[in-house]
Structures are given as C-alpha cells and as structure tokens.
Amino acid sequence: MPALDALIAPRLAELAAAGLRRRLRAHDAALIDAASNDYLGLARHPELIERACTWARRHGAGSRAARLVTGTSAELLALEDRLARFKGTEAALIFATGYQLNSSVLPALLELGEKPLVFADRLNHASLHAGLRGVKQIRFRHNDLAHLDELLATHPGATRWIVTESVFSMDGDRADVPALTALAQRHGAFLYLDEAHATGALGAQGKGLAALAPGQVPVVMGTLGKALGGAGSYVAGSRVLIDWLVNRCGGFIYSTAPAPAALGALDAALDLVPGMDAERARLARMGDALRAALAARGIDTLASSTQIVPAVFGDAARALAAAERLRAAGILAVAIRPPTVPAGSARLRFALSAALTDAQFERLLAAVRAP
C-alpha cells in the first residue's frame, strides 16, 4: 500500500468501527426526495433552467477570472444590487459557495478592531467554524439568549461578534432575530447572521428572518443553492462592509467568479421567490404535519418549526436503520451522524420541499406512521 494510503486506511477503519464512515453514493432518482434543500422546488423550475442556459450561451460556461481581474460583469453587479434590495441592505457580494463565504468573510471581519471576541451558538454550521479556526470561540448554549447575555456581560471587549444562524441546518429551529439584535445593541456587539436555510423559505416574500429586524443586522449571509434553487452565496450589509470584503476577503479576492449559468438561475429566482407565499405556506403546513406524525410515534423533533424536521434516534446505527427502512418504502431521508450533529443525537434530517406533490407527501407520512 502506498505510504499515504497506509496512514489513511486505519483511520477510515476507526470511523467505520464507530458507525461514522461516510460514503458517496449516487442518489436514486426513483425515491421521493425528503432530504435535499430545494425548499421551493426551484432547482428544476423551467425558468431557472432556461435563464441559466441563456446566461451560459451569452457569457460562456465559465467566468474566466477572479472578480477583481476580469470576472465582474455588469450583469453580476446588477444582480448584487437586486440581492441587496431583496435583503433590505445597501450592498451585497456574491460568492461561489456558502462554505467559501463563511470561511473567508469571518477572518476578514476579525481583522477589524482590537482583540475581537467571538460569541458563537454551540450548534453553528461547520462553515462558520471554518471561518473561526484558530479563534477562541465563547460558545453559548444553543439559542439560549439568557446564556449569551450572561457571557457578554462577563467578557467585556471593544470589538465583539455574535455569530449564529437564523434557521439551524440540522435542528430546523429558529433564532429569535429581533431579540438577538436588541441584545447585540445593548452590549455593543455586532451580529453575523447565517440565513442559509431561511433565505427564500421564510419571512415575508422569502426575505429571511433578518427582515424581522430591518436594518439591525450588520452582516447577513445566505446561500443561493437551497431555496433559491441554484448555486452560490451572498453576504449583505453596508456599502462600506462590502468594500472592505472586496479588499480583504481572501475567498473573494483569490477565487474565480461564479459561473454565468449560476447567475442566470439567480436572476430568475429573484423574479419568482417574492411571489411564492403560497408555496411557503404549504411548506409550513407540511412541516407541522410531519412533526405531528413523528411525535405520534414518540420520536423527538427537537424545537423544529420550519421545513427542516429532525427525527432524533440518538444512536448512529438506529438512525441508519431508520433511513434504510424509509428507503425501502421509496423515501430518501438521510441519517445525519456526529460530528455533523452532537454525539448521541444521530437523526434523520427531513428537508421538505414545495416540489413534493400531495401524493408524495402522503406517502412520506404513511411511511413515517408505519410500524
């Protein structure tokens, strides 16, 4: 065995022994998809596909360079203006992925001020941790604002950041954004809000939960590959903030601009998303019905109140067995295990979509109810 592989193989065996080895497996298109993040069903919407093709034909398959070199088109600047208007901010900046954004925007922000301190929700996404690598995080209990208040009171500092999600990717619960902004202001801290799972899916016209505190969230990011159906991410805030990122954010400066097809899909999504309140309302009803079906079986759905519904089994093997049972019933629901979720909280993560027909959703409920 080559030397590198010899180092890796025993580590993979350890993961397998703990039931934590991951494998890529092509998904089966015949299954009813209750696991993807295409919340509004836009990934296969004809207008997004058509616009993506039009933009690719017009501008090419690739964007050819980083934004500061030759990768910024007039259309991209116009799209960023549209996104900023959608989010109610002065400006926005588009990145190729949300992971790239979180892992490079946070370091650029932490260059600011004297000895910045970071207060982070315990359940923050891996990409937020990647952005805080090497930084001491003061972790507050998940969504526990009293705990955050206490930590802010006992850790003074001139430059303090609160980093959290508005909808948590694995629990499907919400942060109380107006209360968070009030707390941040009271302590003179800045809020960095990840709206990956709220953008498009929640809030008036799908504007996310930052819209509950207009003008109060200085840095908000979201992804374009979930409810918005395409690919990429955005960060939105003041013009000065965006100018800083253009100058200091390595993930922006040194990376090729998003592909024209992805931008075309976003252009179409921004036409459609504000008018999809009926789909958002249906998604909310589906979430309620699924939580009720799981609760009736005694399965814990934590504090989920959105289109993301966890079914917690605790043990990784039990979660995997539940995913297999559903697969046999024609449903794709993926088992999520540590380290993606805390040890002892392995689960199925249902992610509902307006693309599911009533009949498909009924089949999902029937499979959940089946003994």
Residue 165 interacts with ligand PLP (CB under 6 A)? yes
Q: Least distance from C-beta 227 to ligand PLP, angstroms?
A: 12
Span interacting with ligand PLP, options 75-83, 98-106, 290-298, 352-360, rule CB under 6 A = 98-106
CA distance 193 to 335: 27
Residue 306 interacts with ligand PLP (CB under 6 A)? no
Query: What is the phi/psi pair of residue 244, to 5°?
Result: -60, -45
Using CB positions, name the residue nearest to ligand PLP. Answer: 98
Contacts of residue 357, defined as CB under 8 A and 6 or more positions apart, other chains included, come to none
According to CB under 6 A, which one of 79, 80, 87, 98 is a site residue for ligand PLP? 98
Span interacting with ligand PLP, options 114-122, 179-187, 189-197, 361-369, rule CB under 6 A = 189-197
Q: Is 226 a catalytic residue?
A: yes
Residue 125 interacts with ligand PLP (CB under 6 A)? yes
Q: Is 169 a catalytic residue?
A: yes
Q: Tell me which of 87, 125, 187, 207 is the catalytic residue.
A: 125
According to CB under 6 A, which one of 127, 143, 301, 307 is a site residue for ligand PLP? 127
Span interacting with ligand PLP, options 43-51, 192-200, 327-335, 344-352, rule CB under 6 A = 192-200
Span interacting with ligand PLP, options 113-121, 193-201, 267-275, 308-316, rule CB under 6 A = 193-201
Q: Least distance from C-beta 47 to ligand PLP, angstroms?
A: 21
3-state secondary structure the chain: CCHHHHHHHHHHHHHHHCCCCCCCCCCCCCCEECCCCCCCCHHHCHHHHHHHHHHHHHHCCCCCCEHHHHHCCHHHHHHHHHHHHHHCCCEEEEECCHHHHHHHHHHHHCCCCCCCEEEEECCCCHHHHHHCCCCCEEEECCCCHHHHHHHHHHCCCCCEEEEEECECCCCCCECCHHHHHHHHHHHCCEEEEECCCCCCCCCHHHCCHHHHCCCCCCEEEEECCCCCCCCCEEEEECHHHHHHHHHHCHHHHCCECCCHHHHHHHHHHHHHHHHCHHHHHHHHHHHHHHHHHHHHCCCECCCCCCCEEEEEEECHHHHHHHHHHHHHCCEECEEECCCCCCCCCEEEEEECCCCCCHHHHHHHHHHHHCC
Q: Is 194 a catalytic residue?
A: yes
Number of shown-chain residues binding ligand PLP (CB under 6 A): 14
Residue 233 interacts with ligand PLP (CB under 6 A)? yes
Q: Is 150 a catalytic residue?
A: no
- Closest-CA residue to 117 (of 140, 84, 98, 101): 140
Q: Least distance from C-beta 315 to ligand PLP, angstroms?
A: 24
Q: Tell me which of 197, 233, 279, 345 is the catalytic residue.
A: 197
Residue 223 interacts with ligand PLP (CB under 6 A)? yes
Radius of gyration of the chain from its Cα atoms, rounded to whole angstroms: 21
Query: What is the phi/psi pair of residue 71, to 5°?
Result: -85, 5
Residue 99 interacts with ligand PLP (CB under 6 A)? yes
Contacts of residue 10, defined as CB under 8 A and 6 or more positions apart, other chains included, come to none
Q: Tell me which of 33, 37, 173, 233 is the catalytic residue.
A: 37
For the segment 250-289, give every residue that binds ligand PLP (CB under 6 A): none
Minimum CB distance to ligand PLP smaller for 169 or for 304:
169
Q: Tell me which of 38, 80, 121, 165 is the catalytic residue.
A: 165
According to CB under 6 A, which one of 34, 196, 249, 355 is a site residue for ligand PLP? 196
According to CB under 6 A, which one of 33, 171, 194, 279 is a site residue for ligand PLP? 194
According to CB under 6 A, which one of 89, 97, 181, 304 is a site residue for ligand PLP? 97
Q: Is 59 a catalytic residue?
A: no
Which stretches of the chain bind ligand PLP, using CB under 6 A?
97-99, 102, 125, 127, 165, 169, 194, 196-197, 223, 225, 233
Catalytic residues: 37, 125, 165, 169, 194, 197, 226
